[in-house]
Amino acid sequence: MSVRGSAVIATMVLAACAPDSLSNYKATGFNGYLNTVQSQCQPLWIGSNPLQQIDSQYAGAWQSGFNSFLDMTSQLYYNRMSPADYRVAVQSLVLTTTDTRTNNSIDCIIAKLPANRPSKP
C-alpha cells in the first residue's frame, strides 16, 4: 500500500472516532437545533459559564468543558443518550445537581429536542 493510501485510511479511521462535536460540520439538523437552543433557551448557563452563543470562541477558559458539553448535546440530539443520562452528564461537568440555572438550561435543551430525533448526521 502506498504512503498516500495509508494516510487516507488513517484519516478515515480518525474521523470515524472523532466526537460528534468535531465531526458535525455537515450536520445541518444538529446545527439548526443548536441555533434554536441558543435563541430560545437564554439565559443559558452551565455552572458558572454563561453560553450566550453556542460557539467555542465564546467558551473562554471553559474550553474543555464546552467541548464535552457540545459532544454530550450531540449525543442527546442523535438519540445516543437519553434525556435523563444527558442531565446527569451535564451536571457532572459542574459537579452539582442543585444549580438552578444549569437545571433550567438542561430543561430547555431537552424541551427543544425534535419529536423524531435522528440517529446519525
pLDDT (tens digit per residue) in 93-113 = 999 999 999 999 999 999 999
DSSP percent split of the chain into helix, strand, coil, nearest 5: 60, 5, 35
Task: Indicate if the pLDDT at residue 22 is higher than 80.
Answer: no
**Residue ranges of the domains in the chain?**
3-111
End-to-end CA distance of the chain: 31
Reply yes or no: is the peptide bond before residue 118 cis, omega within 30 of 0: no
pLDDT (tens digit per residue) in 69-99 = 999 999 999 999 999 999 999 999 999 999 9
pTM reported for the whole predicted model: 0.78
Q: Hey, what's the cell of 71?
A: 459532544
- The dihedral built from the CA positions of residue 41, 47, 76 and 82, taken in this order, carries a sign that is negative
Let me know the angle formed at the C-alpha of 92 by 90 and 94, rounded to the nearest 5 degrees.
85
